[in-house]
Amino acid sequence: MIVFDNVYFQYEPEGIEALCGVSLTVEDGEHVAVVGPNGCGKTTLIRHINALFTPSKGSVTINGYDTQDAGRRNEIRQMIGMVFQNPDHQIVGMTVEEDCAFGPENLRLPTGEIRERVAEALDRVGIAGLAGRNIETLSGGEKRLAAIAGILAMRPRYIALDEPTAFLDPVSARLVLEMIDKLHSDGVGIIHITHNMAEAAGTERIIVMNKGSVYFEGTPQVIFRNVDKLKTIGISLPQITELLIRLRESGLPVRTDIGDMDGAVSEIKGLINK
């Protein structure tokens, strides 16, 4: 379990607070989305989970290990994989398999086990065929999958993804989202930062951040019921929710707390059947 207890963080000693009084928990195997406007502290928040940043005040514990404890950081980082926003900023290897092996090499695993983990991770994200390819010859989507495979090779219990669909075309973005769903169904906890509320709608819980604190949180249904609150901080709703709101405003008695296509289809079908 990931626990943030009244966490404060400043980038510079006298600077503005990037996190102010954040308290939240993420259960094992949970799929959580973190949304919020630019500069609200989303990236700072997930960098605390991986112990890349440590709180100025308060504490972050991962399965009971405090991130301030330098002796436990490797265990924490092994437990929580972190996928950066830009794969070019994360990939260090020259070929897909070499990059995938970087984490296990750091864990000082024997060569045989490294090879086994690399093969397994590449297979899990569906890019086993690209193992020997030079990173520079990959498309944006393939690079993102390679970055995820590099994390999976460390066999983490949670994965924190910083805007995993940023800069991707719709087809590649769908591929990455399907991969995330698959990992979640395999029992990996997911912390997914996104600007796209339609992506957040597919998670179990949404944490809305604003100005360094948790603005409010809840299931997607709870979040979409608070349209005004979201609009106040400049977060736009999924198009499908906007459509349902318009339908309701025009007199149709539809629910407006739905953010995904399947939910909207069954709601409208139900209405037609009535």
Partner 1 sequence: MYHTGFYLNGTSPIHRLDPRVKLAAVIVLSMVILCVKPPIVILVAAVCLCIVFAGSIPLRIIGQAVKPLIIFVGLIFFTHAFFSEGEAIALVNLPYLNISLSRNGMEEGGLVALRFLCLIVAAVILTTTTTPSRMIAAIKYVLGPFKRLHVPVDDIAVMMMLAMRLLPLLLMEKERVETAQKTRGCDLQGKRLAVRLKAFIRLTSTILLGVFRRADELALAMEARCYNRGERTAFVELSMRKTDYGIAAVLIVAGGVLLGLNSFI
Where along the sequence are the contacts to partner 1 (CB under 8 A)? 47, 50, 52, 74, 77-78, 81-82, 84, 86, 88-95, 97-98, 101-111, 114-115, 118, 134-137, 150-151, 154
Which of 53/224 has CB closer to partner 1? 53
Question: Which is nearest to 238 in space by CA: 214, 218, 264?
Answer: 264
Burial class of residue 65 in the structure, from the number of CB atoms within 10 Å of its CB (0-12 exposed, 13-18 middle, 19+ buried): middle
Task: Answer whether 202's CB lies under 8 Å from 57's CB.
Answer: no
Closest separation in Å from C-beta 98 to partner 1: 5
Distance between CA atoms of residues 256 and 78, nearest Å: 40
Which of 98/257 has CB closer to partner 1? 98
Distance between CA atoms of residues 140 and 168, nearest Å: 6
Distance between CA atoms of residues 157 and 73, nearest Å: 15
Closest separation in Å from C-beta 106 to partner 1: 4
Closest separation in Å from C-beta 253 to partner 1: 49
Which whole-number Å values give the CA distances from 50 to 77, 117, 146, in the listed order? 5, 21, 19
Distance between CA atoms of residues 191 and 158, nearest Å: 7
Q: Residue 274 CB: number of other CB atoms within 10 A?
A: 6
Which of 108/274 has CB closer to partner 1? 108
Phi, psi angles (nearest 5°) of residue 131: -45, -50
Q: Residue 232 CB: number of other CB atoms within 10 A?
A: 11
Closest separation in Å from C-beta 26 to partner 1: 17
Which of 6/106 has CB closer to partner 1? 106
Which of 151/240 has CB closer to partner 1? 151
Residue 205, strand partner residues? 32
Which of 156/259 has CB closer to partner 1? 156
Closest separation in Å from C-beta 5 to partner 1: 22
Distance between CA atoms of residues 173 and 17, nearest Å: 32
Closest separation in Å from C-beta 121 to partner 1: 12
Closest separation in Å from C-beta 12 to partner 1: 15
Distance between CA atoms of residues 267 and 271, nearest Å: 6
Which of 7/135 has CB closer to partner 1? 135
